Chain A
Amino acid sequence: MARPILEVENLCVDINVPSGVLRAVQNISFSVARGETLCIVGESGCGKSITALSLMNLLPGTAHRSAGKLVLDGQDLGNLREREMSDLRGNAMAMIFQEPMTSLNPAYSIGNQLEEAMRRHRNVSAAEARDRAVFLLEKVGITGARSRLGQYPHQLSGGLRQRVMIAMSLMCEPALILADEPTTALDVTIQAQILHLLAELRDEFETSLILITHDLGVVARVADRVAVMYAGEFVETGTAEQVFNAPSHPYTQGLLRCIPIPGKTKRGTHLGAIAGIVPNLVGRLEGCHFASRCPHVHGACRSGELALRPAFEKSHHYRCVLSPKDCADNLKAGVAA
């Protein structure tokens, strides 16, 4: 197997808040192969955006990142200085953000902002950068690309702006793109287009993609592998098939029960919901982080450190005291109910 583009081991992010240290991301490990899509799924505040920002080293000043291993395409990111890191940002790794309406600078034309992304890292002329911008704008499905270069963000719709952001992320042919909820702020019809586009471009440019979302529908469409995040931890990782067909962790099972299935879910039935709220992450949390909301909670859940354990298949892991068989039984019981 080829060396992965990104290897992360024991990534932690601590944020200093007035009441103490908020452990936003706790010991997460993952790797992404070339051309692969990893989806990080979880509800708001579970630490998925912080994970992405920490990879880019764009965390706020109050946050502290540590990692056992943080390697991008053979280069160790862990000890890079900010100056060296900024050479990689937008170059070897690029990021697409959630809010296309506010992510472009209103004062500059999109051509200016696109070209800038390339000229920062490549020794190219303005004309070459412009040609690349036009090429990519066409790639992301913007018609009349050359004449659009002089337009300003306020003249474009949200969907178009997100396409511009995607084009911008591709300016330097990055090995890895981090997309932080790229479709959340868009209309449903546009969401599908943008996702489709991302998948297409990933294949065409052989880029790896980390897609961060709370939308399981998005995950099902594009993910090769899935990591379910809850309260700063990965609670389940595996291929998209494993996680969708045989969800093991009670949280994943609960999440999947929240989605209506066309044709299967009867009209008028209540959709599933996970009761309770995410625990406070300030300070150390004992035992399973999901214990306070888990329907299957018992004494063993409340103490000690829980590690990810393999499910029936080797590449499928989950973080729960229950055995794979118990988890499968819970899933069946849940479906029956």
Chain B
Amino acid sequence: MLSFAIKRLGVAILVALTVSVITFSMIYLSGDPAMALAGEAATADDIANIREFYGYDRPILVQYLDWLFRALQGDFGQSHYLKTDVASVIFERLPTTMLLGACAISFALILSIPLGVISAIRPNSLIDRISLTIAVVGQAMPSFWFALTLMLWFGINWRLLPITGTSSWLNFIMPSIALGYYVTPGVMRLTRAGMLEVLASDYIRTARAKGLRPLRVLFKHALRNAILPVVSLAAVQFGFMLGGSIVIETIFAINGLGFLAWESIQRADLPMMQAIVLVLSVFYILLTFLADMINAFLDPRIRVT
């Protein structure tokens, strides 16, 4: 188990380094960063000053390593637009996005895993058909439209929930549902397919032949094996939510990382964008690592490979 964890961690670090190289090179994607910063009216001297001030005149490798070591210490430099410390802005926004993502993925899992299990136990039953409908509709419906519909009914017509802001936990209900609902179909269908396959397997027959009660067969013997791919999918989707909450955060005016990313792109605030991409990537990599660990805990066969 330990050697498996170390191997996985090694892979995760390599992936993170690769991402950091790509993130770093973002600066040079749109040409000379000093010239872009200086603006159209700048003289050659201004540009040279800026180049020197930000260190763009050094060899590229030195710039990368300098940037990387600062980033490792939580220093992502100064925002070009806000003129403040990038890290402090990001860590101010990050908890909001994490909370939203956690609520959304919890909502998705709590809804989709039980539905998937029930659909697998009673295939083609009424509940299976209903959840299939939910899945199809969920997959087909754009999340912004769903979010606006929720706002219209629960916020405006019935006045049950606040529409915008982050002042109380009530504010997170609609965004979480809007963000999480999109993940539900995939998780539900994967749970159903996994359970159907596992329930037909020989070791489930063995468990029943031992006289075990149906619930024990279902939860101890079946779900543990069926849930493995769901864990991986949920981790990927959670990471996807953190980065992809731009639309939802914008609609509900939630000051999270997604919203910040959107603003920074508009302002061409490169250090900020770099930092956001890097932070989200690292979270994504950590989540994948976590999913691997959970799967290794659940399935002993994974531990040895």
Residues of A within 8 A of B209 (CB): 56, 58, 89-90, 94-95, 97
Contact between B202 and A103, CB atoms less than 8 A apart: yes
Residues of A within 8 A of B208 (CB): 58, 86, 89
A60 to chain B, nearest CB (A): 9
Majority SS of interface residues in chain B? helix
A56, B211: Cα distance in complex, Å: 10
Contact between B301 and A120, CB atoms less than 8 A apart: no
Contact between B211 and A91, CB atoms less than 8 A apart: yes
Residues of A within 8 A of B206 (CB): 97, 103-105, 165, 168
A2 within 8 A of B: no
How many inter-chain residue pairs (CB < 8 Å) link A and B?
70
A336 to chain B, nearest CB (A): 45
Residues of B within 8 A of A121 (CB): 211
Task: Identify which of B211, B213, B221, B304 contacts A105 (C-beta below 8 A).
Answer: B221
Contact between B300 and A154, CB atoms less than 8 A apart: yes
Contact between B224 and A102, CB atoms less than 8 A apart: no
A154, B221: Cα distance in complex, Å: 16
Given known A97-B202, A102-B201, contact A107–B210 (CB-CB < 8 A):
no
A9 within 8 A of B: no
B160 within 8 A of A: no
Give chain B interface residues in 214-251, CB to chain A under 8 Å: 220-221, 224-225
Give chain A interface residues in 150-197, CB to chain B under 8 Å: 152, 154, 165, 168
B66 within 8 A of A: no
Task: Identify which of A89, A104, A165 contacts B211 (C-beta below 8 A).
Answer: A89
A207 to chain B, nearest CB (A): 16
Contact between A90 and B203, CB atoms less than 8 A apart: no
Given known A102-B202, A106-B225, contact A152–B300 (CB-CB < 8 A):
yes
Contact between B210 and A58, CB atoms less than 8 A apart: no
A32 within 8 A of B: no
Q: Mark B262-305, 1 if CB is under 8 A from A, else 0.
A: 00000000000000000000000000000000000011110010
In this complex, what residue of B is CB-closest to A109?
B300
Tell me the A residues contacting B by CB distance below 8 Å: 56, 58, 86-91, 94-95, 97, 99, 102-109, 116-117, 120-121, 152, 154, 165, 168
Tell me the B residues contacting A by CB distance below 8 Å: 201-203, 205-213, 220-221, 224-225, 298-301, 304
* 12 sample A-B contacts, Cβ–Cβ < 8 Å, listed by A number: A89-B210, A91-B211, A94-B210, A97-B205, A103-B202, A103-B206, A107-B225, A107-B298, A108-B220, A117-B210, A152-B300, A154-B304
